[in-house]
A and B are shown apart, each in its own frame.
Chain A
Amino acid sequence: MELFEKIKDSIIEMDEDKAGELVRKALADGIPPMDILGKGLVAGIEIVGERFKADELFLPEVMASAKAFKKGFELISPRLKETNYTPRARVLIGSVEGDIHDIGKNIVISLLQGNGYEVYDAGVDVSPSKFVELAQQLKPNILGMSALLTTTMAKMQDTVKSLEEAGLRGSIKVIVGGSCVSAEFAAQISADAYGENAGDAVGIVKNLTSI
């Protein structure tokens, strides 16, 4: 349908206003929200993802597309709840206790939201107990932790242990990232994945959740 193509193009063209306008029209025309999502919004963001992976697009372009996606998604979201729609994985993410750096985390959030993942931003300086409290409340599929200081890396391990003690570790995949973190460290603390840079986030979450 032409309207789906136009919605898809609005995502690829990073046009937030156009995405909103077209999704409103589609809803007004009675098009099922699941079709708007799958054939329009997701179709567009997947092409963006492929182009990003092929080094044809840069982060600011991907994030602009993600904003357009988010605009459209927010418009259909109330209608999706009326259906049996299950969102893509739910991700809880934060910078660990003692760390107030957040730029990498914020890029990851934008990328994940822009790919239809449900993301809860725990903020910065998040203690292990706070992560556990939020995990109990939100029941995420993924916990992402960021640390930029060597002295805060240990909090990642503390958080993993806290998840184990709370009986949550089995149901939550843990991804760690940040400039002082390494694949080696991630393995050491039994994290499920390590993100070398923010751009890796969507691929890693997809692999871990198969969603």
Chain B
Amino acid sequence: MIFNRLDILTPEELERIVDTSCSMLEQAGFRFEWDFALNLMREHGCKVDMDAQMVWIPRRLVMEALEKMHPLAAPQEYPKLFWAPWIGMKFIDHKTQQPRSGTLQDCKNIINVVNHLENVSVSSTGVVPQDVDNRLPDLYMAELLFKYSEKIFTTWTFTVDTCRDIVEMALAVTGGEKELKESAIINYLAEPVSPLKLSRHSLEIIKLYGEMNQAINMGSMVQVGTTGPATLAGSVALQLAEDLASLAYLYCLGSQSPVSLGGPMQVADLKNGNCLYAPPELPLIHLGIVACAHHLGYLSGCTSGLTETNYPDFQNGWDRGMSMILLWAAGSEALGMRGQIGAGQGFSLDELALENEMGGMMMKLSQGISVNDDTLALDIIESVGIGGSYSKLDHTNKHFGEYWKPELFSHEAFEEYWANYKHLALRAHEKVERILESYSLELQIPQDVADEIDRIRDRRIERLKG
């Protein structure tokens, strides 16, 4: 089960935030940078200014969209902990521990490692490869995931053209349009440009995925203090407004895509305008947006468990743990993005291995406490009686296997620990090396489908040359 015990906002406060978000869409309006989208919204009763590319969305339409769109499938169709690797530009080379641009081989290694980390439930390529044509890295990323990921995956879609290609690849994998529409094999993070803008390419991509009923995660990225107000409530309301604008658009398209509300909100470092990755304000705003999503009947994802540090030290553990536990306790269905280090300076396989360890604990927490005759163990307690021991019992033997056991984290006694000292970072690194040495990527789809994916990719490359 997923817990939902932590509520930092009252229902009245949530209603006020929702009301504020709707007021934004009615009064401030939203920029849709595509005439098709503007005309569509006008047909559904919105006031539109074509020259200014502005739309004002009535709350009636927002409420209708919320009521009639489909929340993203519940945990029975997604893992209990939607736990996907972060995707960034740089890779922390796990041999040299130095940052460099990500490569296609790094993507393959990351998929390989993720395939064999038991607590990372969703795959991605971890980095955007920089050794390919930078007009279509997303196509290469999707190709690798379709071919080699043993888990469901999330990828990025950067352009309308590559979106069409990725959809075509998905059609090849699933076997046809009907099958694709029933599968939700691919997904899109619909990310407006804050504040209050949706670019043409995002609108087109939402339409393309929406036509195929693929999952769309409404995921604005308001940055508190720069693209959103410096006050947390205001930024949460703005984030929700941007999510709702995308949702209203998708609804007007007539899409059956399952959706979630949320998104990778950020807090600005007002020393330099960059993003902060682990201030306490970050879990607060994510708790806010998760609460809003749940209040409106939708599943939610957030970014949590991130760190500012460049090394697995005390701060790293605290940064990650603080936000992860809070968002888990609030019932966030997705807790992304794993494997990043140094406030998004790079993706690290060693960090991912450490977070896999965390993931084991999180999975255990998610199981909660099972209450039944066997687990209450009244008959066992009565039979052991006063001052007895439970350690030799069949009941203990039956149940101790359910405990979480560490693989990387230390449980040694003081003397043993120092006699056999090996830093946690090194233990994680060795695990990564073991996986990469022991396993190779194996094709997860039939060869003819892989060939078709290659053909789609090569066709795009040829078109770009032309």
Contacts and interface: CB of A to CB of B under 8 A. Distances in A.
A154 B134 contact: yes
B158 A151 contact: yes
Nearest to B227: A103
Contact of B89 (A59, A98, A182): A182
Interface residues of B, number: 25
Interface string A97-124: 0101101100100000000000000000
B99 to A, nearest CB: 9
Nearest to A59: B270
B405 interface: no
B274 interface: yes
Point out which of B101, B197, B271 has the most chain A C-beta atoms below 10 A from its C-beta.
Answer: B271
A199 interface: yes
* Overall SS of chain A's interface: helix
Contacts of A103: 194, 223, 226-227, 273
Contacts of B90: 182
Interface residues of A, number: 22
A150 B33 CA distance: 20
A34 interface: no
Interface string B413-438: 00000000000000000000000000
Contacts of A101: 193
Contacts of A200: 272
B225 interface: yes
Contacts of A184: 101
B9 to A, nearest CB: 26
Given A182-B89, A197-B273, A150 B193 contact: no
A100 B193 contact: yes
A100 B128 contact: no
A188 to B, nearest CB: 10
Point out which of A58, A150, A154, A184 has the most chain B C-beta atoms below 10 A from its C-beta.
Answer: A150
A170 interface: no
A199 B271 contact: yes
A153 interface: yes
Given A100-B199, A103-B223, A182-B89, A150 B134 contact: yes
A104 B272 CA distance: 10
A3 interface: no
A4 B197 CA distance: 44
B134 A199 contact: no
B126 interface: no
Given A60-B225, A107-B226, A150 B271 contact: no
B137 interface: yes
Given A103-B226, A150-B128, A180 B89 contact: yes
Interface string A55-67: 1001110000000
Contacts of A104: 273
Nearest to B90: A182
Given A149-B158, A150-B137, A197 B272 contact: yes
Contacts of A151: 134-135, 158-159
Interface string B16-58: 0000000000000000010000000000000000000000000
A64 to B, nearest CB: 12
Given A103-B227, A150-B128, A151-B134, A199 B159 contact: no
B159 to A, nearest CB: 6
A1 B298 CA distance: 65
A75 interface: no
A168 interface: no
23 contacts: A55-B271, A59-B271, A60-B230, A98-B201, A100-B197, A101-B193, A103-B226, A103-B273, A107-B226, A149-B158, A150-B89, A150-B137, A150-B158, A151-B135, A151-B158, A153-B134, A154-B135, A180-B89, A182-B101, A184-B101, A197-B273, A199-B271, A199-B273
Given A180-B128, A200-B272, 5 more contacts: A59-B273, A60-B230, A100-B193, A151-B134, A151-B158
